[in-house]
Amino acid sequence: MKHVIVIGGGVAGMQCASELLRQGLAVTIIEKEQDLGGKVRNWHKLFPTFTPADEVLSAMRHRLKISNNLKIRTGCQATTITANSVTLCSGEELKCDATVIATGFTLFDAQIKEEYGYGIYDNVITSAELEQMFNENNVHLAHGGTPKRIAILHCVGSRDEKVCQRHCSKVCCVTGVKQAIELKKLFPAADVFNFYMDIRMFGPGYEEMYREAQTAYNVHFVRGRISEVSPTFNSQLQIKAEDTLTGRPLKMSVDMLVLLIGMKSNEHNITLRNECNLLAQPSGFMQPQDSFIGNVTSNVDGIFYAGTITAPKNVGESINEGTAAARAVIEWLNKH
Ligand SMILES: Cc1cc2nc3c(=O)[nH]c(=O)nc-3n(C[C@H](O)[C@H](O)[C@H](O)COP(=O)(O)OP(=O)(O)OC[C@H]3O[C@@H](n4cnc5c(N)ncnc54)[C@H](O)[C@@H]3O)c2cc1C
Ligand code: SF4
């Protein structure tokens, strides 16, 4: 029986493994964390349908039925990868007939954008931390109390030459709209302001969500970028921005600032590029063989990609790539 190693047990890797098992192959999933699910384990409700992330992951775990043909190695990091072997950080080498890399993305470190005061001032949080607060049903200010004015800043660590992240992270505009709606559901009297450069609502139902945020929830959208954040004497945050539609400078005090952090490529991709001869894009994401008909195939025979290892994507797209990668592996194995 042919054996495939899937590296990364996020939604893309889980879906790829399910499909390979369904087609009668033996699969080993290597996951560096203690549990499968990847970043989605940390999210609350998924755009655009507000489906609980837990529900999606339970369905995926159910699909990944335990069988003798499946091995799951959690708490294991893959270090060196070839088409026929994967070396773990323990030094153990596993043999296989093909490899799928589904190691996902890394969240941008908001501390790098010092001007927004993350890690310096209270109540400056990231979108990932807000998801955690939603999950714990505990959205609050640092010293207790609920926020009455909230700003959400788009493009933090994306589309930003200064931090070498020129790409658009694709999912953060819609995440910002979803989080604004969730905040308004929790605090109907609060004012929520989204500061954006452009609103990029690329998926089905996204534009409708954006309109609903304005018409049904009265979320305010300001076209402009915050240049500076400082604390006020009464524990608020003063933000300075330019409204790029009117060309006027703008000053505003808020209780909470949410930074929509971008999706950046993994540091590990550099090793893949240097040691495994895999090609990477200027953004650091891995380079698929072709953008149209070979988007889950790498430039090295027998190594495949699934999910956000090659670019920012939403959950649906990452899952679909899991299926596509499994099919590409099977087609390739049938020829070899
Ligand atoms: C703040 C935020 C909110 C989001 N909300 C939504 C939403 O509501 N709806 C939506 O559709 N999308 C959302 N997304 C996008 C979603 O998170 C991604 O589409 C999804 O996580 C991609 O899955 P993946 O499997 O490609 O990668 P990941 O989720 O990153 O999973 C990769 C896995 O690989 C593992 N791994 C990495 N390196 C190694 C290694 N060397 N060895 C072993 N294991 C390794 C990691 O531990 C991880 O478990 C959001 C993104 C962000 C940033
Ligand atoms: S999706 Fe929106 S917030 Fe995210 S980088 Fe692109 S334009 Fe900026």
pLDDT band at 244 (very low <50, low <70, confident <90, very high): confident
pLDDT band at 50 (very low <50, low <70, confident <90, very high): very high
- pLDDT at position 336: 87
* Residue 319: strand, helix, or coil: helix
- Ligand 2 near 159 CB (within 6 A): yes
Residue 280 sits in the same domain as residue 166: no
Which of 246, 263, 280 finishes a domain? 263
- Ligand 1 near 328 CB (within 6 A): no
Residue 40 has pLDDT above 80, yes or no: yes
- Ligand 1 near 43 CB (within 6 A): yes
In whole angstroms, what is the distance from residue 167 CA to residue 51 CA? 28
- Ligand 1 near 209 CB (within 6 A): no
Residue 171 sits in the same domain as residue 291: no
Mean pLDDT of 286-295: 93
User: How many domains are there within the chain?
Assistant: 2
Atom of ligand 1 nearest to the CA of 178: 8
Mean pLDDT of 225-231: 93
Parallel, antiparallel, or unpaired for β 45-46 and 263-264?
A: unpaired
Residue 69 sits in the same domain as residue 83: yes
Best probe residue, ligand 2, of 163, 170, 207 (max atoms within 8 Å of C-beta): 170
Alpha helix positions (H), 23-119: 53-63
Residue 92 sits in the same domain as residue 117: no
Q: Is the dihedral of CA 181, 185, 316, 124 positive or negative?
A: positive
For residue 125, CA distances in Å to 55, 132, 246, 297 come to 26, 11, 28, 37
Residue 153 sits in the same domain as residue 72: no
Which of 241, 263, 285 finishes a domain? 263
What would the two tokens of residue 119 be? Answer: 């890690």
Residue 115 sits in the same domain as residue 139: yes
Atom of ligand 2 nearest to the CA of 158: 5
- Ligand 1 near 5 CB (within 6 A): no
What spacing in Å lies between the alpha carbon of 18 and ligand 2's midpoint? Answer: 32
pLDDT band at 283 (very low <50, low <70, confident <90, very high): very high
Cβ neighbors of 271 (< 8 A, separation 6 or more) are 79, 80
- pLDDT at position 316: 97
For 207, what's the count of Cα atoms within 13 Å in the CB-facing half-sphere?
Answer: 3
Query: Residue 20 belongs to what domain range?
Result: 3-105+265-335
For 151-208, write each residue's pLDDT tens digit: 999 999 999 999 999 999 999 999 999 999 999 999 999 999 999 999 999 999 999 9
- pLDDT at position 305: 98
b/e burial code for range 165-197 (CB count within 10 A of at least 16 → b): bebbbbbbbbbbbbbbbbbbeeeeebbbbbbbb
Please say whether the beta carbons of 94 and 100 come within 8 A.
Answer: no
Best probe residue, ligand 2, of 172, 179, 202 (max atoms within 8 Å of C-beta): 172
What would the two tokens of residue 158 be? Answer: 């994306």
Which of 248, 263, 278 finishes a domain? 263
Residue 151 sits in the same domain as residue 98: no
- Ligand 2 near 313 CB (within 6 A): no
pLDDT band at 239 (very low <50, low <70, confident <90, very high): very high
- Ligand 2 near 260 CB (within 6 A): yes
For 81-126, write each residue's pLDDT tens digit: 999 999 999 999 999 999 999 999 999 999 999 999 999 999 999 9
Mean pLDDT of 217-224: 96
Residue 307 sits in the same domain as residue 218: no
Annotate 96-146 with DSSP letters as a single string.
-SEEEE----EE--GGGSGGG-TTTSTTEEEHHHHHHHHHTT----TTSS-
Residue 28 sits in the same domain as residue 72: yes
Q: What does R_g of the chain's alpha carbons equal in angstroms?
A: 21
pLDDT band at 271 (very low <50, low <70, confident <90, very high): confident
Residue 238 sits in the same domain as residue 296: no
Mean pLDDT of 263-271: 93
What spacing in Å lies between the alpha carbon of 170 and ligand 2's midpoint? Answer: 5
Residue 66 has pLDDT above 80, yes or no: no
Residue nearest to ligand 2 atom 5, measured at CA? 168
SS (H, E, C) 149-215: EEEEEEEECCCEHHHCECCCCCCHHHHHHHHHHHHHHHCCCCEEEEEECCCCCCCCCHHHHHHHHHH
| Residue whose C-alpha is closest to residue 279's, from 265, 269, 268, 292 | 269
What spacing in Å lies between the alpha carbon of 38 and ligand 1's midpoint? Answer: 5
DSSP state of 10: B
Rounded to the nearest 5°, which phi and psi values hold at 123?
70, 15
For 139, what's the count of Cα atoms within 13 Å in the CB-facing half-sphere?
Answer: 28
- Calculate the average pLDDT of the chain: 96
Residue nearest to ligand 1 atom 49, measured at CA? 38
Residue 214 sits in the same domain as residue 137: yes
Say which CATH number the domain at 152 has: 3.50.50.60
Residue 179 sits in the same domain as residue 205: yes
pLDDT band at 67 (very low <50, low <70, confident <90, very high): confident
- Ligand 1 near 128 CB (within 6 A): yes
Residue 65 has pLDDT above 80, yes or no: no
pLDDT band at 307 (very low <50, low <70, confident <90, very high): very high
